[in-house]
Amino acid sequence: MPAPMSPTSRRGLLLGTAAVSAGALLTGCTSNDTKDGPAANSGPAADGKPGKHVTIGFAGPQADHGWLNAINDNAKSRAGTYKDVSLEITEGSNDTAAQIGQIETLINKKVDVLVVLPADGKALTQVGLKAMRAGIPVVNLDRIFNSPQAYRCWIGGDNYGMGLSAGHYIGEKLKGRKNAKVVELAGLDNLELTKQRTEGFDAALKNYPNITKVARQAAEFTVESGQAKMSQLLQAQPGFDALWNHDDDQGVGALRAIKQAGRDDFLMVGGAGALSAFQAIDAGDSVLKATVLYPPTMAASAIDLARALGQGKGVGGLAEFEIPASLTLYSAVVDKDNVQQYMATGFK
């Protein structure tokens, strides 16, 4: 995942299998009148049928990373499926002042709903509040604002859950091995999300007393840093049984370092859900055996939520008249057994 961002969650109601069905609840329809009587929620629900036209403003950070590119692509693609949605998308920026200015422009254009993935959640809280006070509901995507008053709905990933899923997967693979050793290639340590991923991983490993984490190295969510830091880990740790790498982009570099070192004596679990990771898992010719999702499909679901808000609708499949206040995506594990199911969702 890309560098620098908010010291709040970047990437917790679960939506089941995250990458494939992140929008499943949002596209279902609850009818007012059925043959069997009214549904529990007798109000209208979000569906694909054309309704009131909604202009959605979308503002995110600079797409300088595969995951963020996928966020933009998912938002544009989902908006394009609706005849009643117009998408006003800004040029992404990691400069806080620039992104605030872009959002203020969208507010001045009087868009119906805003979808915002802030470069820095804390720094952009005030502009979120400004939009809400102007009567424009905000869907806060992933990196969360400091105040719940700054958004109507939050949708994002589960960083702690990523660590849990990775830890349990590795634990199950190594549970029959005595004195097993694992290492961790983390992301930027100044980010709260990195700390959450490590905390989840460590919590999962506590269930496996035969496993010891012998090393942890922080990288920078880039291919170059992944290669450099993995080389250091390999030199410092001549023997271990499993590696968890927080990010599939930096994992490209890590795999290069592993190949250069001629190592194949351990299994590797990645994070996020890049296409390159899915392809490597499917090929089965490297140490990478699984990756834990942090699905960029959340941007498509954010568009669904924004459309529902703009049309005053609820969510199909739920009894409530209103959309939820928050939605945390599930960190599913993708391995050889299910990788084909997820292949189409992998980001480049």
Q: How confident is the model at residue 306 (pLDDT cuts 50, 70, 90)?
A: very high
HSE, CB side, 13 Å, CA atoms: give it for residue 232: 12
pLDDT of residue 258: 98
Res. 185: pLDDT tops 60: yes
Residue 44 has pLDDT above 80, yes or no: no
| Average confidence (pLDDT) over 140-149 | 96
Is residue 45's pLDDT more than 70? no
What mean pLDDT do residues 169-186 have? 97
For the domain covering 18-157+296-330, report its CATH number: 3.40.50.2300
The model carries a pTM of 0.83
Average pLDDT of 35-47? 42
Q: Where in the chain is the domain with CATH 3.40.50.2300?
A: 18-157+296-330, 159-293
Predicted pLDDT of residue 62: 87
Give the pLDDT mean for 189-198. Answer: 92
Cα angle, residue 206 at apex, residues 203 and 212 outer, rounded to 5°:
110
CB distance 180 to 242 below 8 Å: yes
Residue 190 has a pLDDT of 87
Residue 131 class from Cβ within 10 Å (0-12 exposed, 13-18 middle, 19+ buried)?
buried
Question: 157 with 329: CB under 8 angstroms?
Answer: yes
Return the percentage of the chain with pLDDT > 70, whole number: 86
More confident residue, 63 or 24: 63
Coil, helix or strand at residue 170? helix
Residue 57 phi/psi, 5° resolution? -90, 130
CATH class of 159-293: alpha beta
